[in-house]
Amino acid sequence: MTYPDGKKMIVGDGLKLWNGCVGTVVCSIEDDEYTPEHPRDQWAYLKTGVLINSSQTGLIHYHAPEDLFELLERKREPSGHAR
């Protein structure tokens, strides 16, 4: 999945979902990437999309990116190398 600007969305990204709501990508199902708190065996059945955890809304599954998504912080490069 990508952000509206074309950047790849990866696990660990901090993003703005909409004004006043931020979250963190905790699973990229199509890339088969999961966090220990949200393991593959619990979420792979969804087949596509990402899971984003937000303190304002909780856990949300998105099949496609929203136009308002904005990358705020990237902790690692898409190749998996730490920053």
Contacts of 58 (CB under 8 A, 6+ apart): none
User: For 70, phi and psi rounded to 5 degrees?
Assistant: -140, 125
In this prediction the pTM is 0.89
| Of 54, 70, 83, 80, the residue nearest 7 (C-alpha) | 70
Sign of CA dihedral 35, 41, 57, 21: positive
**Domain range list for the chain:** 14-73
pLDDT single digits (tens) 5-40: 999 999 999 999 999 999 999 999 999 999 999 999
pLDDT above 50 (res 45): yes
